[in-house]
Structure 1
Amino acid sequence: MPLGTLDRNPPPFFRQGASALSKLMVFSALALFLMVADTRFALTQPLRMAVATALYPVQWLVMRPVLWSASAGAYFESLQAAQEAAQQKLGLLSQRANQVEQLMLENSRLRKLLVLRERFAATGQAAQVLYDAADPYTRKVVIDKGLLSGVSAGSPVLDESGVLGQVTRVYPLVSEVTLVTDRDQAIPVLNARTGARAVAFGDPGAHAGALELRFMAANADVQAGDLLTTSGVDGVYPPGLPVARVEKVERRVESAFARIYCTPVALAAGAAHVMVLQPISSQIPALPEPEAAPEPGKKGKSK
């Protein structure tokens, strides 16, 4: 059969009805009608309620994992926030506890300092240690009192336990205190047990931070544990102030002098508040001026 004689139209059995454009126009008009009717007369409201009621269990089941995951995330976030807040509060309480302990320690030291001051008639004033001196080869500290506060060079400096040192340099607002453990510092002391006098020097050697009694005879009556106090013969320190305690006594046959090491009773490495006294030499009245010798021409006439 020739190709030109074939019918190109589909047989009637496969016809689909109206065209696509017609269907689009009909369904668009129907949708518009339903929207207007639903807006004016709420025709689909019962249908919506029925569908919502039927789908609520499905929605509830579908939302459970979402809500559980959200609640779990919120729980872990709140737990982490609570832990961080607890750690912050614990750190704050720890800091306050340390401050309370520090304040109690300072209060106890100040009370002891006031009690030590009441034992002596010398006038004094409280001061605070600012910092250690910059020179690493010396044992010096700087306090917050100077010339404007009436501090003078040579003034004894005490802490709550005993003699700490002596003011060696004074500035308008601050002063420099040389500790008893400095290698250039010497202080006359008295053995409270025997009454023997000696001189304690700062020990810069192997016993740094300690004192040494020098030029003591090998047979001197000195024992470990003896308390050394100021003798008061130097005109600087009032007598009876605790200075050091004998730690070790070495007696050698080849030496005529004993090696006596002492530990200062004051907190030479950790003093915070000190008492600055006036040197006792300032309380000693001045010597009377010598009387002028009579001139030779003014001698009395002999009778």
Structure 2
Amino acid sequence: MALESLDRSPPPFFRVGFAPLTKLIFFGALSVVLMFGDKQLQFTKPIRAGLATLVLPIQWLVLQPGQALSSVSKHFESLNDAQQKLKQAQSQVLLQSLRAQQVEQLQLENQNLRQLMGLQSSVATPSQVAEVLFDVPDPYNQRIVIDKGQLKDVALGSPVVDTGGVVGQVTRVYPLSAEVTLLTDRDQSIPVLNSRTGARNIASGDILGGIPQIELKFVPAGADVKEGDLLTTSGIDGVYPAGLQVARISHIERRVDISFARIHAKPLADMKGRHVLILQPIGAQAATKGKTP
């Protein structure tokens, strides 16, 4: 077979059609025409609207997992934020409550100090205000410690009172503090006067029903004593000035087989108060006046 008779054209599978440059120019011109026509005629707007309508459910489905995660995250964030705000609110409420309690305590202390200052001005005996530091931790004794001592001229045996009445007596003195034995202590005694009858007695500390009180000693069973009678200091011991309120009769027990009545009285002073007034003993005042030329 002669070579000239062979078909040298490429088979249809390898035919490439138009040249690439021709295709580029054609499609470029077509794009420009379409863009210009769409800008002027808006003929692709219905097509885009239809495609957007068809794609909308797919977009909604695709966005649901992200929105669900975002909702869960916001829920936990809002819950955490609410818990933090609740804790802050509770802390503020507790702080306000503490401040209110402190304000109330300060008002009570201020009122007590004003009353003590008024009592100090009305009492002719030299005196000074002291603050109670703490109660002596002794279950068998009723004592407190105050913040005035020898450096403030606190004398041994000085009476201690508050706005209600007699609190006790200074039994130990240190340089910066002093120890006060309360009226309700078993070893503490004080001469008292019944303001209604004028009868004098000796009262000592005692406990009635677990409550510290004072008891009148050696009172005859037939004596004229009634519940509610006011007991004041008689002033005959050379320690307490006369006329200070001590206690009020709260319980009387008379028995036929016993010659003496058992009489208890409740102290009028606040044994748990914060401030007290220290008086100079009457004997020390007399000694000071005796030395005055």
CA contact (8 A) 1:113 1:161 kept: no
Residue in structure 2 matching 1:93, options 86, 93, 96: 96
Residue in structure 2 matching 1:228, options 204, 227, 231: 231
Matches within 5 A, 1:92-131: 92-131=95-134
Residue in structure 1 matching 2:159, options 123, 147, 156: 156
| CA offsets 1:114-158 (integer angstroms, 9 cap, x no match) | 222222111111111111223321111111111011101010001
| CA offsets 1:15-39 (integer angstroms, 9 cap, x no match) | xxxxxxxxxxxxxxxxxxxxxxxxx
After superposition, the Cα gap between the structure-2 partners of 1:283 and 1:147, relative to the gap in structure 1 and judged at 3 Å, is same
Matched, 1:250 2:237: no
Residue in structure 2 matching 1:272, options 266, 271, 274: 274
**Normalised by the size of structure 2, how large is the TM-score?**
0.75
Matches within 5 A, 1:176-191: 176-191=179-194
Q: In the alignment, which residue of structure 1 is the partner of 2:244? A: 241
Matches within 5 A, 1:197-208: 197-204=200-207, 208=211
Which stretch has the larger CA shift, 198-207 or 254-263?
A: 198-207
Q: Which residue identity lines up with residue 159 of structure 1 in the other structure?
A: D
Matched, 1:216 2:227: no
Secondary structure of 2:160's match?
A: strand
Alpha-carbon offset, residue 211 of structure 1: 0.5
Secondary structure of 2:286's match?
A: coil
C-alpha distance in 1 between matches for 2:173 and 2:289: 27
Superposed CA RMSD in Å reads 2.2
Alpha-carbon offset, residue 59 of structure 1: 4.7
Matched, 1:168 2:171: yes
What stretches of structure 1 move > 4 A for 4+ residues in a row?
53-59, 204-208, 285-289
Q: Which residue identity lines up with residue 107 of structure 1 in the other structure?
A: N
C-alpha distance in 1 between matches for 2:65 and 2:199: 98
Which stretch has the larger CA shift, 220-229 or 254-263?
A: 254-263
Matched, 1:71 2:55: no
C-alpha distance in 2 between matches for 1:176 and 1:63: 76
**Normalised by the size of structure 1, how large is the TM-score?**
0.73
After superposition, the Cα gap between the structure-2 partners of 1:68 and 1:207, relative to the gap in structure 1 and judged at 3 Å, is closer
C-alpha distance in 2 between matches for 1:239 and 1:190: 9
C-alpha distance in 1 between matches for 2:111 and 2:158: 24
C-alpha distance in 2 between matches for 1:258 and 1:79: 68
Matches within 5 A, 1:134-145: 134-145=137-148
Residue in structure 2 matching 1:193, options 192, 196, 203: 196
Aligned residues: 237
Q: In the alignment, which residue of structure 2 is the partner of 1:5? A: none
C-alpha distance in 2 between matches for 1:147 and 1:175: 8
Q: In the alignment, which residue of structure 1 is the partner of 2:87? A: 84
C-alpha distance in 2 between matches for 1:214 and 1:79: 67
Secondary structure of 2:247's match?
A: strand
Q: Which residue identity lines up with residue 280 of structure 2 in the other structure?
A: Q
After superposition, the Cα gap between the structure-2 partners of 1:286 and 1:115, relative to the gap in structure 1 and judged at 3 Å, is closer
After superposition, the Cα gap between the structure-2 partners of 1:136 and 1:225, relative to the gap in structure 1 and judged at 3 Å, is same
Q: Which residue identity lines up with residue 232 of structure 1 in the other structure?
A: G
C-alpha distance in 1 between matches for 2:120 and 2:212: 25
C-alpha distance in 1 between matches for 2:247 and 2:127: 22
Alpha-carbon offset, residue 62 of structure 1: 3.8
Q: In the alignment, which residue of structure 1 is the partner of 2:38? A: none
CA contact (8 A) 1:186 1:202 kept: yes
After superposition, the Cα gap between the structure-2 partners of 1:240 and 1:212, relative to the gap in structure 1 and judged at 3 Å, is same
Alpha-carbon offset, residue 205 of structure 1: 6.4
Gaps of 5+ in 2: 1-47
CA contact (8 A) 1:181 1:208 kept: no
After superposition, the Cα gap between the structure-2 partners of 1:166 and 1:288, relative to the gap in structure 1 and judged at 3 Å, is closer
Alpha-carbon offset, residue 177 of structure 1: 0.5
